[in-house]
């Protein structure tokens, strides 16, 4: 009797909704840009922010954290 292997069920992806507000002029501009490039606003926005979404889920990147010199800028004023 042959054993039948079953496929593992994939984990369901959970999405989060993000809302942004645009003026009417900004919305018309976005729609016209997307029509000219044959894409959707959702795909365009995701493509633009993709570098910020990938790779930062576990820890904060070091280039975003302030350096110690930046923290000391206003300490001199307090001592006076």
Kindly state whether residue 34 falls inside one of the protein's structural domains.
Answer: yes
Residues 6 or more apart from 1 whose CB is under 8 A from it? none
Kindly state whether residue 40 falls inside one of the protein's structural domains.
Answer: yes
Kindly state whether residue 36 falls inside one of the protein's structural domains.
Answer: yes
| Region for 6 from its dihedrals, namely left if φ exceeds 0, alpha if ψ lies in -120 to 50, beta otherwise | beta
Tell me, what's the pLDDT at 5? 82
Tell me, what's the pLDDT at 41? 96
pTM exceeds 0.85: no
Count of domains in the chain?
A: 1
Tell me, what's the pLDDT at 46? 93
pLDDT in single tens digits along all 80 residues of the chain: 667 888 888 889 999 999 999 999 999 999 999 999 999 999 999 999 998 888 777 777 776 666 666 555 565 555 55
Kindly state whether residue 39 falls inside one of the protein's structural domains.
Answer: yes
């Amino acid at each position: 009797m042959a054993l039948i292997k079953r496929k593992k069920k994939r984990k369901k992806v959970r999405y989060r909704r993000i809302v942004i507000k645009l003026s009417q002029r900004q919305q018309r501009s976005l729609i016209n840009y997307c029509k000219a490039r044959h894409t959707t606003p959702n795909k365009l926005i995701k493509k633009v922010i993709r570098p910020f979404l990938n790779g930062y889920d576990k820890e904060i990147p070091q280039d975003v954290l302030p350096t110690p010199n930046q923290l000391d800028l206003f300490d001199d004023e307090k001592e006076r």
